[in-house]
Amino acid sequence: MGRYVVRRLLQMIPVFIGATLLIFLMVNVMGDPVAGLCGDRQCDPATAAQLRKEFGLDKPVWQQYLTYLGNIFTGDFGTAFNGQPVTELMASAFPVTVRLTIVAILFEIVIGIVLGVVTGLRRGRPVDTGVLLLTLVVISVPTFVTGLLLQLLLGVEWGWIKPSVSTEATFGELIVPGLVLASVSLAYVTRLTRTSIAENKRSDYVRTAVAKGLPRRRVVTRHLLRNSLIPVVTFIGTDIGALMGGAIVTERIFNIHGVGYQLYQGILRQNTQTVVGFVTVLVLVFLVANLLVDLLYAVLDPRIRYA
């Protein structure tokens, strides 16, 4: 197990360096970081040169990248367009997005797994076909369309919820946005659980358990679920990072002042430091989630750690 952990940690280092380098190159080579600092007008050459010198943009690219990497490690993400440090924006934005993600994950676990187990145990019945078709439809409709439709129906037409979320963004207000954020993954979790259950239902240990005369309930919860949920758990784990990154769409629809909102403001005002800072942190979250899931995988499934 120890060797496995060390190997995964070592594998993460090049991925981290590569991903940050990729983000860095996207911004600094493809675009012009000082373009947004002069507002809508074109910068005059002398000001631009002065700004470049001030931010160290006249140095070679590799040196800039090292500075950027050094700043990440010391927790310095630069300043936003309004002079606030980006870290302060993060401190106010991340709790909101984390709450939203928690709601989404809960939906995935509860609805996704229940539907998956129900359909997996009744493979080929009308319930199974219906849910399967429904998941395809949910997967096909882009999140922002689902979000806008739910906002229109629940918020505007029927008045069940407030169409937009207040700045506090309490758990209660985040239920519908969380469902929207979770929708696509939810459908996928359902399919994943269904396949896994249906496959394992034919396995020898389930047949043995049934032959022993165990009650059906015990066979399902103790023998079938425990083994079938391993891929589901790991999928949900890695999905945490993807959900936090994808929350930008949901946050835009419901006007939630989370990470997505700050990112969007950063883009509108062409503030590279805000955008790069937030994206870097989100990528880090994604990588850490991946790492934890792989370790969890090794704990849950011994075949992995002895491989």
Whichever of 150 and 209 has its CB closer to other proteins, that residue is 150
260 closest CA partner among 101, 151, 74: 101
Separation between Cα atoms, residue 73 and residue 16, nearest integer Å? 12
Helix (H) or strand (E) run with residue 3 in it: helix 2-30
Q: Does 275 bind other proteins (CB under 8 A)?
A: yes
Q: Does 302 bind other proteins (CB under 8 A)?
A: no
Q: Does 246 bind other proteins (CB under 8 A)?
A: yes
Q: Do 191 and 138 contact (CB within 8 A), yes or no?
A: no
Q: Which of 103, 161, 176, 192 binds other proteins (CB under 8 A)?
A: 192
Whichever of 99 and 290 has its CB closer to other proteins, that residue is 290
**Contact region for other proteins (CB under 8 A) — 72-80, 205-213, 216-224, 289-297?**
289-297
117 closest CA partner among 192, 168, 183: 192
Across the strands, what pairs with 85? 79
Separation between Cα atoms, residue 104 and residue 179, nearest integer Å? 6
Q: Which amino acid is it at 152?
A: L
Q: Which of 38, 49, 106, 141 binds other proteins (CB under 8 A)?
A: 141
Site string for other proteins, 205-244 (x = CB under 8 A): -------------------------xx--xx--xx-xx--
Whichever of 146 and 209 has its CB closer to other proteins, that residue is 146
Phi-psi map region of 186: left, alpha, beta (phi>0 left; psi -120 to 50 alpha): alpha
Please count the residues of this chain forming the interface with other proteins, following the rule CB under 8 A: 76
Whichever of 30 and 211 has its CB closer to other proteins, that residue is 30
Whichever of 78 and 231 has its CB closer to other proteins, that residue is 231
For helices 126-140 and 113-121, the axis angle rounded to 10 degrees is: 140
Q: Do 233 and 292 contact (CB within 8 A), yes or no?
A: no
**Contact region for other proteins (CB under 8 A) — 17-25, 70-78, 79-87, 99-107?**
17-25
Q: Does 80 bind other proteins (CB under 8 A)?
A: no
Q: Does 200 bind other proteins (CB under 8 A)?
A: yes
Whichever of 213 and 265 has its CB closer to other proteins, that residue is 265
Helix (H) or strand (E) run with residue 207 in it: helix 204-211
- What end-to-end distance do the CA atoms of the chain give, in Å? 11
Taking the complex as a whole, the smallest distance from the CB of residue 152 to other proteins amounts, in Å, to: 5
Q: Do 240 and 289 contact (CB within 8 A), yes or no?
A: yes
Q: Does 274 bind other proteins (CB under 8 A)?
A: no
Whichever of 91 and 145 has its CB closer to other proteins, that residue is 145
Taking the complex as a whole, the smallest distance from the CB of residue 54 to other proteins amounts, in Å, to: 20
Q: Does 90 bind other proteins (CB under 8 A)?
A: no
